[in-house]
Amino acid sequence: MGDGGAGWLFSWSDQDDGASISAIHAALDAGMNWIDTAAVTASAIGRSRGQGARRPREQAVRLHKWRARLGRESPDRQIAQGRFGRRECEASLRPIKSRCDRSYQIHWPEPDEDVEEGWATLARLKEEGKVRWIGVSNFNLDQLKRAWAIAPITSLQPPYSLIRREVEADVLPYCAEHNIGVIAYSPMGSGMLTGTMTRERIANLPEDDWRRRSPQFQEPLVSAIEDRR
């Protein structure tokens, strides 16, 4: 379950935490045991686990991606820097307050020169018992190889769908060779492949919805998708 299903607070326009928490409860009741989250959604995950004791939350696996908060301290998306990863990991432990298997990932390999530092930090967090598994997201083949030279990678989370197939060339074969699990994100193209996305709907997306500016939601792809319906 990725960030509340359709996506939460960050870059998807206004969201309702109450609806998101209800979605988590429904997912757990239906037997889902995996919650994909990041720093901006951790508090809602924590609140959802504090409600409705009948739900088996201790069986849920939480996949957390570290992403440095943009701002004065991190103006250039210093996401891979180890100090941000450690700080966010330790802070994200607090709202959960229960036994929960955790997989921790570097969300973006930015800046590229900090990949080794960030991955070494994750390896240490695993050794310290603060996370059970460690993985990466959005890494290319070169970055995977550099990380693997430091410590084994449990999982890779890449964009992968019928309209985003770049990883098939070399990334997926490398993962298969090294027994790295692949957890695709946006398998429905962030809504483009749902059969409900039209030019009119795209034009009426909220101004702060990132899809308004994404090449994936521009021509010629929009017409190509509509022509195949």
Any idea what the CATH number is for the domain that residue 68 is in? Answer: 3.20.20.100
Tell me the torsion sign for CA atoms 64, 174, 111, 126.
positive
Final residue in a domain of this structure, among 153, 172, 187:
187
Give the pLDDT confidence of 33-84 residue by residue, as tens digits.
777 766 554 555 555 555 554 454 455 566 667 664 433 344 445 555 556 6
- Do 118 and 207 lie in one domain? The reply is no
Dump the DSSP string for 74-89.
-TT--TT-HHHHHHHH
- Do 104 and 146 lie in one domain? The reply is yes
Q: Is residue 12 part of a domain?
A: no
Q: How far apart are the first and last CA of the chain?
A: 27
According to the model, what pLDDT value does residue 148 have? Answer: 98
- Do 132 and 166 lie in one domain? The reply is yes
3-state secondary structure of 206: coil
Which span out of 34-38, 200-204, 223-227 was modeled with the highest average pLDDT?
200-204
Question: By the 8 A CB rule, do 192 and 225 touch?
Answer: yes
Alpha carbon distance 122, 28 (integer Å): 28
- Do 48 and 138 lie in one domain? The reply is yes
Q: Is residue 11 part of a domain?
A: no
Which residue, 201, 190, 197, 199, is CA-closest to 163? 190
Q: Is residue 10 part of a domain?
A: no
Q: Is 78 exposed, middle or buried (0-12, 13-18, 19+ CB in 10 A)?
A: middle
> What pTM value is reported for the model?
0.75
Place of tokens 């901006």: 40
Q: Is residue 128 part of a domain?
A: yes
- Do 78 and 152 lie in one domain? The reply is yes
According to the model, what pLDDT value does residue 165 have? Answer: 95
Structural domain harbouring 165: 17-187
Q: How many domains does the chain have?
A: 2
Parallel, antiparallel, or unpaired for β 101-106 and 133-137?
Answer: parallel
Q: Is residue 1 part of a domain?
A: no
Assess whether pLDDT exceeds 50 at residue 17: yes
Residue type, 207: E
